[in-house]
């Protein structure tokens, strides 16, 4: 049964995206809305009802059984905040994430892709306008810098999804800049968790998209 399902996935590529924040959910909803006629891949954003790392990890593994690729997008500011708050002697969130990364790389190298934004999605949005490696220790500080370019920016569904002026349409003319700027920052290294990073290019450069975002 699994073989049959796997063959079907290959014929009709489909992506699942597991995210822990509403802003990411709205962003990908708008990508799908605007690129609907160009996409040869079905994309389904997933916002878990439970947002702990373990619940996201379980969902990612479950979805990987039915999707060509499953992307797990992690905002590191949340992980680092919870790491600072953990009681002495207990496993930290960053240690927990490291365990999951090791499992994914060994068991799901082709079907699950982890994407880290540090501190959060706003840093990815900022890279559309700036080439910067500055580390923002909070999402609020990254958002403040973003507002120098998107002066009306709001972290609301109304702003992200406004008809004919949604977040994806606002940023699309600068997408190639963002991809280049993100690649300059390299890959996420869990031993350097205080470094600015966005790995969103791993989604946009998936081979299943062909030349759509290139």
pLDDT band of 8, cuts 50, 70, 90 = very low
Q: How far apart are the first and last CA of the chain?
A: 36
Asked if residue 11 is part of any domain, the answer here is yes
Q: Look at the chain and report how many structural domains it folds into.
A: 1
| 134: in domain | yes
* Average pLDDT over the chain, rounded to an integer: 92
Q: State the residue range of the domain holding 198.
A: 2-209
* Confidence grade of residue 6 (pLDDT, cut at 50, 70, 90): very low
What's residue 3's pLDDT? 40
User: 47: buried, middle or exposed (CB in 10 Å: 19+, 13-18, 0-12)?
Assistant: middle
Identify the residue with better confidence: 46 or 176.
176
Instruction: Say what the pLDDT of residue 48 is.
Output: 86
Establish if 214 belongs to a structural domain. no
pLDDT at 5 exceeding the cut of 50: no
**pLDDT tens digits, residue range 48-80?**
877 899 999 999 999 999 999 999 999 999 999
| Distance of alpha carbon 116 from alpha carbon 162, whole angstroms | 27
User: What is the reported pLDDT for 110?
Assistant: 93
Read off the pLDDT band of 45 (50, 70, 90).
very high
What's the pLDDT band for 4 if we cut at 50, 70, 90?
very low
Q: Is the pLDDT of residue 100 over 70?
A: yes
Q: How far apart are CA 154 and CA 28, in angstroms?
A: 16
- Report the 3 state secondary structure along 13-75: CEEEEECCCHHHHHHHHHHHHHHCCCCCCEEEEECCCCCCHHHHHHHHHHHCCCCCEEEEEEE
Percent of the chain with pLDDT over 90: 82
pTM of the predicted model, to two decimals?
A: 0.92
Is the pLDDT at 24 greater than 90? The verdict is yes
Q: Judge whether 86 lies within some domain.
A: yes
Distance CA 100, CA 112 (A): 11
Q: Tell me what pLDDT residue 11 has.
A: 61
Residue 96 binned pLDDT confidence (cut-offs 50, 70, 90): very high
The confidence band for 1, taking pLDDT boundaries of 50, 70 and 90, is very low
Condensed to tens digits (0 to 9), the pLDDT of residues 121-180 reads: 999 999 999 999 999 999 999 999 999 999 999 999 999 999 999 999 999 999 999 999
β-strand pairing of 112-118 with 197-198: antiparallel
Helices 53-63 and 93-107: crossing angle in degrees, nearest 10, is: 10
């Amino acid at each position: 049964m699994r073989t049959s399902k796997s063959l079907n996935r290959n014929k009709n590529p489909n992506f699942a995206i597991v995210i822990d924040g509403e802003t990411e959910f709205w962003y990908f909803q708008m990508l799908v809305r605007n690129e609907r006629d160009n996409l040869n891949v079905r994309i389904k954003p997933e916002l878990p009802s439970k947002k702990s790392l373990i619940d996201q990890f379980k969902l990612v593994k479950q979805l990987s059984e039915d999707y060509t690729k499953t992307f797990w997008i992690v905002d590191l500011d949340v992980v680092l905040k919870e790491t600072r708050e953990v009681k002495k002697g207990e496993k930290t969130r960053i240690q927990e994430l490291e365990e999951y990364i090791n499992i994914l790389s060994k068991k799901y190298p082709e079907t699950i892709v982890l994407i880290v934004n540090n501190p959060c999605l706003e840093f990815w949005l900022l890279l559309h306008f700036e080439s910067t490696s500055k580390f923002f220790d909070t999402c609020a500080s990254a958002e403040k810098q973003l507002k120098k370019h998107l002066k009306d920016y709001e972290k609301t569904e109304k702003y992200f999804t406004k008809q004919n002026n949604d977040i994806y349409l606002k940023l699309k003319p600068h997408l190639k800049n963002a991809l280049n700027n993100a690649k300059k920052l390299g890959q996420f290294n869990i031993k350097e968790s205080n470094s600015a990073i966005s790995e969103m290019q791993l989604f946009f450069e998936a081979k299943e998209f062909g030349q759509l975002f290139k």
